[in-house]
Structures are given as structure tokens and as C-alpha cells.
Chain A
Amino acid sequence: MKNTPATSPLSSHISSPSQFGPDRTTFHSSATPGHRLPPPPPPPPRPPASLIQLQFAGSAAKDPRSVRRGDLSQVAAMINFVLLISRQGKVRLTKWYSPYTQKERTKCHLLHLISDDISSMSSTIIACREVIRELSGLILSRGPKLCNFVEWRGYKVVYRRYASLYFCMCIDADDNELEVLEIIHHFVEILDRYFGSVCELDLIFNFHKAYYILDEILIAGELQESSKKNVARLIAAQDSLVEAAKEEASSISNIIAQATK
């Protein structure tokens, strides 16, 4: 960890999802910060003509998904968990929105049955560590040009690398991966604006603030706010509430100190 550029701003890697390492466009150098993304990648090549002349047998074909997904057996959130890991596999932030799959839970239960004899470590922590270890193995080993999705235990993990940090979100197999990529970027941009060119060290020493911001973006694994400005405003308002309370506290303690002198 010592030799990582933990101080290098994550924003230097804010770029379009498909481009990583070589793109050093600095987010803050643009004239209107926040509203402009790095230059667009070249548009996709025109599709060959044959793709356009497709014919359909008719609309009568039955949809395979007419079985509704509303099966109550599955009450998973859209985003099952958020994970920030460094290149060394150190965890920088975790947030779990839905319990594990049934299988995981029984495993936890079994572990627990036995665990009190053997160690004080809770089954939860063991299970979490396992998930994190497994995922960091999967993700950190992937090359730079590959796609940003990995399939894992029947879920999909969408990840994106910013400088030394990997932002990962786990979603269900049929959720929109591209949109989650946008959500990750949304989160990073808000962090960037809050910390002012955010870097890994900011997130280590102010991890609680990163959590506050995440809580303004996601609740129950669903998106809460699409406006970066609004999130920034809400966080600033709450921070000033804290500041005010602190000032009040210190002035009171000063008064007490004065009085008891």
C-alpha cells in the first residue's frame, strides 16, 4: 500500500467507461466543472446493411419472460452491494443492501452453529471476507481492455477502475449493466466535487463522509438522486449542521471553562 499513488486524484481517471489507463484527461480542467465529460469515443461504425434488413415472423411470438419476475422468493435489491477496493485488495468501503442468497445464508447459519466454539469471529464477517476475497481475485486480475462486467455466483459485478481504486457494484443477472456503470461514475463525480479532486487517501481518512455521500445516492440499493448538485447541497447542509453544533459545544465548554477558572 505504501508505494501506491494513493494521493493521485481519482478524477484523472474519470473517462468514458471503455477507456482507462492512458486517458489522463483531468476532470477539473474543463471550463464548466462537472457538466462536461472527456471527449467522446469515436461513434460506432455504421452497421452493415444486412443488419437492417431483418424481417420478423410476426409479433405473435411469446415472450420468454412472461413469467413475471415478481416471484416473492426473490426480494433482492437492484444493487446488492457496493464495494470499493484498492489495487492491493484492501477494502475502502462496503455497503450491503440485500442479504446474501439463500445459499449464503444457510452457510452463515451453519458456520454460526459451530463458530462460537472455535472463534469469536462472527459468521457475517467470515462470509463478507470470503466475498471480498473472491471478488478482488476476480476483478483485480482482469486486464485493462476487457469489459467492465464479471459474472459471479449468478450475479453480475460491474466494476470500474479510477486510479488505484476499483468501484464495484453487484447487480442481478438481468439488470442494466451499462446504467450501473453510469451510477458508479455519478458517485465518483460527486465524491470528486465534494473532496476537490478526490484521491484514495481522502476516502481512507474520511471514509465516513464517503458513506454519507453514498447514503444520499442510494437507499435500499435503488437510486435516490440523479442530480449531483442536489446531493452536494444536501451534504453541505448537513455538514454545516454538524459545524454549528460543534461551535456551540466549544463555546459552551469555553464558558464553563471561564466560569470555573
Chain B
Amino acid sequence: MDLAINPFSSGTRLRDMIRAIRTCKTAAEERAVVRRECAAIRAAISEGDQDYRHRNMAKLMFIHMLGYPTHFGQMECLKLIAAAGFPEKRIGYLGLMLLLDERQEVLMLVTNSLKHFEYLVVLNVGRDLNHSNQFIVGLALCALGNICSAEMARDLAPEVERLLQNRDPNTKKKAALCSIRIVRKVPDLAENFMGSAASLLKEKHHGVLISAVQLCTELCKASNDALEYLRKNCLEGLVRILRDVSNSSYAPEYDIAGITDPFLHVRVLKLMRTLSQADADSSEYINDILAQVATKTESNKNAGNAILYECVETIMGIEATSGLRVLAINILGRFLSNRDNNIRYVALNMLMKAIAVDTQAVQRHRATILECVKDADVSIRKRALELVYLLINDTNVKSLTKELVDYLEVSDQDFKEDLTAKICSVVEKFSQDKLWYLDQMFRVLSLAGNYVKDDVWHALIVLMSNASELQGYSVRSLYKALLACGEQESLVRVAVWCIGEYGEMLVNNISMLDLEEPITVTESDAVDAVEAALKRYSADVTTRAMCLVCLLKLSSRFPPTSERIKEIVEQNKGNTVLELQQRSIEFSSILQRHQSIKSSLLERMPVLDEANYLLKRAASTQATISSVKPALAATPGDPLKLPNGVGKPPAAPLADLLDLSDDAPVTPSAPAAAPNDFLQDLLGIGLVDSSPAGGVPSASTDILMDLLSIGSSPVQNGPPTSNFSPPGKAETKPAPVTPQVVDLLDGLSSSESLSDENAAYPSITAFQSATLRITFSFKKQPGKPQETAINASFTNLTTTALTDFIFQAAVPKFIQLRLDPASSSTLPASGNGSVTQSLTVTNNQHGQKPLAMRIRVSYKVNGEDRLEQGQISNFPAGL
């Protein structure tokens, strides 16, 4: 290999190393080769070897590319750069750019050697910028342009500025691009560059022109003064450049598909847009040339289309005349009907911006856009869906929603989530027509109930609770849907809630609408449906809990079925899921021993306060939006990001939905209020016990919540264990395992403390890969908030046993960690029994910083070493 300067070199050559790596059959072999090479290179470095420095650097770059650490080579780059010869400098600078890109800053800062290293780089680069050889100057400029930090930018800006006036055009263009990086790092320097940047626009060399145009664009972004200055001084030159290049005859050097230098075209158009934004005079000035480019550019090749696309964006971005805008929209129309997917994609992209300019014109393409939602290409589908969403208004909402919902039925699984979110958001936005809203929601729930977000179906329940004339219709529709599509989680939840509440409307066909066909449902049919939902193996805890509540309610709605319901509830008393077990025990107690109060206890829920719910929901959505702001900042001015497009709205706990205590305060002097009385009876709390408290009156609602707070309880369980109040005293917090319940449950107190611990900190799945799942459960000693005992349990998901299993964990400095030995070092296959290991962590900054942990797991599969690592950041808050 020619990289070895000395032809009699020993050691492996670059080519041999690459070959050796390429022949490796396994990752382990590759690691071994790399380790050997790295060791040799390290040895050479420490011996100060000069002959192979060049070649070693090339090897290190290759190793770096494979993803191995090469930080030890960083100093070698500098030594190569400091050498006198061009070959050494060339590879040295390349190494510097590769091994030390900016992302290393964090690392270097910590080791506190960044300052020193940077100083050396500045010294060397500064010297090379003054070199007599233009190629060496070029190398230094290129490296600076690709990696310089703010400090380096400040130090070397004067040199770079001087090089903008260099005689050699290649140096000039590199200096211009290097200035871009400098201005990005230190925007204050923008004004220093604007004079030279403007004068570079008078050059003939295309490389210089392109670089100068880009520099001007960057300057405009960085400083308003520069924008003003360039607007005054450059526009004329830009128009001339664009005219020359678009009228130029065949120029072989720059020709692409019959167009001279499309790159220059695009960049000039972009700068024109920046300069003329919100400025009528300059917009008018460039009107003609834009019209010329828009009409004369050939659109049968990608290069031409790139120019047209940029031209349209510029027309949309400035104060263009209406004629010009018609031209632009027509180009987009043509793009949209193109057969090339790329062109259609950019058309959809641009139409999104055009909506703000002329909605009507975009509406005309609605049918085509709707077709794009069904495209085979996910990129196009996404764009089209965003666009359709923006196009929906009062007049077309019904037809467009129908199209989208119809498509939901056949769409790809991975697209359903986006589509469902968009449909739900549209349907909610135009929900004035409640019947229509319900119909659409029912369809969406039936087709893609697994993708419907919690807050969406919560809102649906709130609405149904308020629409008394539609409750009968709702429960009947949902019952039919439940029979047909029982595997959609949120559908099941909404349906069982409705059946529980409005069961009598289902069997008696109460408040029939004209359009409905009467159905015959017997009481036991309804119970069958709920029982099936409860027993469906894939149903999650929340759904099952809702089914239990529903059954409980039905037992009072349909007295003849109550014996059967009692049996179903009894079956669940031994459920392994604590939540379900507890509910079953509570409910069966109600069914067996408290017949007298059952009917009033199981009355229909009071009408949910719609305004209050919407308010809360908006607040929580707001919170999400502010938390995703950084992500949005990546695309400022981007009109596509609508609130409902963002991530996942927080799963508003259902408790919120049912939370009546805030808004319907029962006066403290209300011991006479009937519900309180029997609730207190029910809970076995004597009047003596209940006397201290503004808390007791609200207990009625709290208990109601407990009965209905469906599995979401751990989430909202605020107070840590240290706040634990002794049994017997009324709790105001809607904690699911309030001590009162204990009385009701007759001596379950032994499990009480355990359940409380679990409720306080839900266990998490800390890590999951194809082979392995690690779950953490947490326990805190009362009085030691900093200390948490974690019980890690490992489950093997593969069909082969994992041997020599070792789990390691690492934590930041403010946390102390103690690892106890694991229960076994062999994980049996297919999750047949798991291995547990306990950890104790002490968070010295409890309450200020959350727990964080990195883990590494090593094990052997069929004798082969495996290593997995990950980071755990989903610790419950408050640990």
C-alpha cells in the first residue's frame, strides 16, 4: 500500500489489515484483529515511531469507521499536521476531522485537556493558513470548516477573512465555506464577513460563487444588519448571476441534464428568498427573473425539477405577485400528477406551505392528495396525511373522514397509529354533530381500537355521559361492535363501561333513534359479552378491571343475573394480579353482604363535567407540547406540527375523568348526606373515627373513585410511604389501598403493607432485547427516602438456556450502588423460571436528580459469548 512511506516496512500494511478484517467470519474475530492492531499502534505511538505514523493513522481511521474507540490516536493527528511534508499533513488533517469531530467536545472537556489540545490545533492550523502552498492552506481551511469550535473560530476568524481575498479561487471558496462554520459558531462575527462576501458575488468562478452565495445566506440568518446590507448590495448581482446561468449556452463543465449548474441556480434562489422575505421592494425586483426560471426550466429531469422546486418555494416565501403564485401552484399541480415518487413527495411537501397562501387552490387537488394517503410508500403517505389533515374543513369533513376511516380498514399496521391519531383529532375537532362523532369514533374503535390513545376514549365517555338522548344508541352500537371486534382494547373498555352504565337501555331498546334497527339482547347476552371480554387472554389489567366494575353494575341492573355475576366475580378472587384480586374480593363482599345498599351504591354515574375534563385535558396536552418544544425547535416556522400531531399525549388517568372531588365539594357539615352515611357504614368507620376531617365528606367520592379507578391508581399515588397514615384515620388522598378498605376486606391486613409498597412504585421493564427481559421492582424502607431496594428479575426469552450469566450495573457519581449476588448464573430457556438479583441504590441527591443507571449483561449462548448493554431511564419518579 502506498501509504507506507518506507517500502521496507515491517508490521501489517493498511491493505493487509483491511483484508484481515474482511475475512473475519464473526464479530469476535473482528474484535480480535482490531485489538491486535490497536495494541500495535499504541505501542508505536508510545515509542514515538515516525516511519509508520502515516500508516497507523490510516489504520486508525478505518478502525474508527468500524465503530471502535480510537481516541488514543488524536494526538498523533497533531504530530502529523505539525510535520513539514504535504503527505503527512494531508492524512493528519483527515484524521483530525474523523477522529475528533465536534461531538468529542463533551469527552475532552471532562478530561480537561480540550483547552490544551485546541490550543495546539489553533497553533498548527494558524500556521498552515499562512503557508505558501495553496493546497496546505486548503487542507487547513477544510479541517477548520468541518470541526472548529467557537473558541477556535474566534481565534482564527481574521486569518480566514484575509483568505477570502486570496488570489486563488480554490482558496477563496474554501475560506468562504469555512466562514460559514465560523459564523454558525460565533454569530457576532457575521458583520465582519459581509463586505467580503458581497464582493465575492462578482466573481466568475462557479465554486467561488456557490460558496459566496451560501455564506451570504448564513450571514442573513446570523444577523439582521447583514441581511439589510446584503439586501441593498447583492440583489442586483444575484439577479445577474441567475440570468447568466439560466441563459447560458451549453457549458460542458457545469452541465447536468442540459442545465448549466443547477446547484448554483438552487442556491441563488434560496438566497433570494432569504433576502426578499417580507420585503415588498426586493420581492418586486426579483419577480421577473423568478417568472423566467419558473417558465423556462425544463422539467423532465431531476436537476430541472430541483430548480423548479426551489423556485416555487421562493415564490411562496416572498411577497410575490398573484400571477407568479398561480404559476407556482400550477407547477406543484404538475408535480403532483407526476409518476415519479420523488416529485410527488416534494409536491406534497410544498403544498403544505402553499395552504397558507391559497387554500382554495390546494383544495382542488384534494382527490389526488387523498389518493397519496393510500400510496405504497410510507414517506408519501405521511406527507399526504399531514396535508389532508390541514385541508379538512366544515364542508368536506364528512366525506374526507369517511375516506380516511375506510382506508383505516386496509392500511398497513405501522401506518394505523398515525392515521388513527389524525382521524380522532379531526373527528373531535368537528364534533358538533354528536351522532356523527359517535359513529366515527365507534368505527375507529372497531377498526383500530388498539391504537386509540387513552385521552381520546376518555373524551368519548365524557361526551356520551352528557348526551342522554344518544346513550341508548351508543350502548347498542358498542354492544354490536364488541361482539364483532372484541380484540380491540379501547373498544372493549368503552363498550363495557357503557354496558355497565346503560345496560337497561341495551336490553330494552330504550330511546331508539329513527335510523336504528331494533335488536334483541337478553340480559344474559349482555353478561356473556362482558364475561367474554373479561376472560379474553390478551386483555390487560385495566380492561379486566373495567369488566369487573361493569359486571358489578349489571348485577344491580339485571337482578336475575346477579347469581351468575357473583360466580364470575368469585372466580377472580384468586387472581394473581393484585388489582383484580382486590377488586373481586371487594365486589363479592358488596354482592354478598351489602345487598341493602347495593342498588344505591351502583347507581348510574353522575353526568361527567365536560368543560372540566376538556380543560384538564388541554392542560395536560399543553404540558406535553412544552416538553416536546426542543424537538419542535428543530423545524421552526414549520406549520405542520399541530398539537395533536405531537408524540403521545400523556395517558390521562381515568381518575381524572372521574375526579369529582375538586368540583363538587360536599360541605363538611354533611354527615346527614345519605351516601356518606352508608359509605361510612360500609367501611366500618365509626363516627368517632371520622370526626377529624374535612377529609371524610370527600371520602364518598374518593371511594367511588376507588371502585372505579381502574388500574391507573399506582400512577397517581402521590405520597411516598413516609406520609403513610395509620389505619383507621380517614385518608383524603385517592390512594387505591386506603386503610378503610381493610375493614371491608376483613383481615387482609397482612398483605396491606406489601400492596402499598408496590402501589407506590410500580415495577418497570428495565431492559428488553430479543433474548432477555429485565424487570425491576422497588421497595423503600420507611424513613429512608434516599435508599431504594431494587429486585431485578431476569427472564430468558429465547429457547436456549443462557449460561454464565452476569449482570452489571453502573450509576452516576451521586448514586451509590450495592449489588447482591444473583440467585443463579443460568437462565433457563423460554422464561421457565427466572433469576433474581437484588440491588440497593442510595440516591444522595434524592428529590433533585432522578435515578439513572446503565447496565451490562454478559452471558453465553451455546458456549458463545454475548454482551448486551442498555440504559435505564424509566425509573418511576421519586426514587
List the interface of chain A (C-beta within 8 A of B).
Answer: 1, 16-18, 32, 35, 37, 40-45, 47-48, 50-52, 54-59, 61-78, 91-97, 99-103, 105, 108-115, 117-125, 127-129, 132, 143, 145-151, 154-155, 172-174, 176-179, 181-183, 186, 204-205, 207-208, 211-212, 215, 219-220, 222-230, 234, 237-238, 241-242, 245-246, 249-250, 253
Instruction: Find the B residue at minimum CB distance from A146.
Output: B377
**B333, A147: Cβ atoms closer than 8 Å:** no
* B84-106 interface bits toward A, Cβ cutoff 8 Å, 1 = contact, 0 = none: 01110011001001100111101
* B323-364 interface bits toward A, Cβ cutoff 8 Å, 1 = contact, 0 = none: 001100110011001111111111001000100111011001
**B residues less than 8 Å from A17 (CB atoms):** 302, 340, 342
Whole-angstrom distance between the alpha carbons of A10 and B340 in the complex? 22
Shortest Cβ distance from residue A14 to the other chain B in the assembled complex, whole angstroms: 12
**A118, B333: Cβ atoms closer than 8 Å:** no
Whole-angstrom distance between the alpha carbons of A109 and B105 in the complex? 10
**A residues less than 8 Å from B303 (CB atoms):** 182
**A65, B68: Cβ atoms closer than 8 Å:** no
**B7, A113: Cβ atoms closer than 8 Å:** no
From known contacts A71-B633, A147-B344, A238-B90, infer whether A16 and B301 are also in contact, taking CB-CB under 8 Å: yes
Instruction: Find the A residue at minimum CB distance from B362.
Output: A54
Whole-angstrom distance between the alpha carbons of A16 and B257 in the complex? 10
From known contacts A47-B330, A146-B341, infer whether A215 and B306 are also in contact, taking CB-CB under 8 Å: no
**B residues less than 8 Å from A132 (CB atoms):** 67
Whole-angstrom distance between the alpha carbons of A18 and B342 in the complex? 7
**A178, B305: Cβ atoms closer than 8 Å:** yes
Q: How many A-B residue pairs have CB under 8 A?
A: 363
Q: Determine the interface band of chain B, counting residues with CB < 8 A from chain A.
A: 35 or more
**B635, A173: Cβ atoms closer than 8 Å:** yes
**A179, B65: Cβ atoms closer than 8 Å:** no
Say if the beta carbon of B206 comes within 8 Å of chain A.
yes
Interface on chain B toward A: helix, strand, loop, or mixed SS? helix
**B86, A245: Cβ atoms closer than 8 Å:** yes
**A63, B91: Cβ atoms closer than 8 Å:** no
**B69, A178: Cβ atoms closer than 8 Å:** no
Whole-angstrom distance between the alpha carbons of A169 and B813 in the complex? 38
**A residues less than 8 Å from B256 (CB atoms):** 37, 182, 186
**B residues less than 8 Å from A222 (CB atoms):** 177, 180, 211, 214
Whole-angstrom distance between the alpha carbons of A174 and B630 in the complex? 17
Instruction: Find the B residue at minimum CB distance from A121.
Output: B69
Taking a contact as CB atoms closer than 8 A, the residue among B15, B346, B630, B813 that contacts A103 in the complex is: B630
**A73, B356: Cβ atoms closer than 8 Å:** no
**B631, A99: Cβ atoms closer than 8 Å:** no
Instruction: Find the A residue at minimum CB distance from B635.
Output: A173
Say if the beta carbon of B765 comes within 8 Å of chain A.
no
Shortest Cβ distance from residue A41 to the other chain B in the assembled complex, whole angstroms: 7
**B101, A50: Cβ atoms closer than 8 Å:** no
**A residues less than 8 Å from B631 (CB atoms):** 101, 103, 154
**A182, B263: Cβ atoms closer than 8 Å:** yes
Whole-angstrom distance between the alpha carbons of A151 and B391 in the complex? 22
Interface pick from B395-403, B549-557, B852-860: B852-860
**B residues less than 8 Å from A230 (CB atoms):** 170, 207, 253
Shortest Cβ distance from residue B108 to the other chain A in the assembled complex, whole angstroms: 10
Whole-angstrom distance between the alpha carbons of A70 and B214 in the complex? 14
Say if the beta carbon of B174 comes within 8 Å of chain A.
yes
**B326, A102: Cβ atoms closer than 8 Å:** no
**A120, B69: Cβ atoms closer than 8 Å:** yes
From known contacts A75-B185, A177-B345, infer whether A219 and B380 are also in contact, taking CB-CB under 8 Å: no
**B2, A223: Cβ atoms closer than 8 Å:** no
From known contacts A204-B18, A238-B86, infer whether A35 and B630 are also in contact, taking CB-CB under 8 Å: no
Shortest Cβ distance from residue B766 to the other chain A in the assembled complex, whole angstroms: 14
Give the residue among A63, A75, A125, A226 with the most B Cβ atoms within 10 A.
A226
**A residues less than 8 Å from B871 (CB atoms):** 110-111, 114
**B residues less than 8 Å from A181 (CB atoms):** 302, 306, 342
Instruction: Find the B residue at minimum CB distance from A204.
Output: B18
**A residues less than 8 Å from B606 (CB atoms):** none
Say if the beta carbon of B802 comes within 8 Å of chain A.
no
Whole-angstrom distance between the alpha carbons of A61 and B333 in the complex? 20
**B residues less than 8 Å from A1 (CB atoms):** 22
CB-CB contacts below 8 Å: B669-711 with A:
none
Whole-angstrom distance between the alpha carbons of A169 and B810 in the complex? 36
Whole-angstrom distance between the alpha carbons of A206 and B97 in the complex? 17
From known contacts A44-B300, A115-B854, A227-B254, infer whether A147 and B630 are also in contact, taking CB-CB under 8 Å: no
**A residues less than 8 Å from B7 (CB atoms):** 250
Shortest Cβ distance from residue B625 to the other chain A in the assembled complex, whole angstroms: 15
Taking a contact as CB atoms closer than 8 A, the residue among A114, A186, A212, A238 that contacts B810 in the complex is: A114
**B810, A117: Cβ atoms closer than 8 Å:** yes
* B367-389 interface bits toward A, Cβ cutoff 8 Å, 1 = contact, 0 = none: 00000000011111010000000
* B608-652 interface bits toward A, Cβ cutoff 8 Å, 1 = contact, 0 = none: 000000000000000000000011011111110000000000000
**B306, A94: Cβ atoms closer than 8 Å:** no
Instruction: Find the A residue at minimum CB distance from B111.
Output: A116
Whole-angstrom distance between the alpha carbons of A202 and B646 in the complex? 44
Shortest Cβ distance from residue A237 to the other chain B in the assembled complex, whole angstroms: 7
Since A145-B376, A223-B210, A253-B6 are in contact, a sample of 18 more A-B pairs with Cβ atoms closer than 8 Å, ordered by chain A residue number, is A17-B302, A18-B341, A40-B301, A47-B333, A52-B330, A55-B360, A63-B357, A69-B221, A94-B65, A125-B67, A127-B103, A154-B631, A176-B266, A205-B15, A208-B61, A219-B141, A224-B210, A230-B170
**A residues less than 8 Å from B813 (CB atoms):** 113
**A220, B181: Cβ atoms closer than 8 Å:** yes
Instruction: Find the A residue at minimum CB distance from B309.
Output: A178
Taking a contact as CB atoms closer than 8 A, the residue among B170, B334, B344 that contacts A47 in the complex is: B334
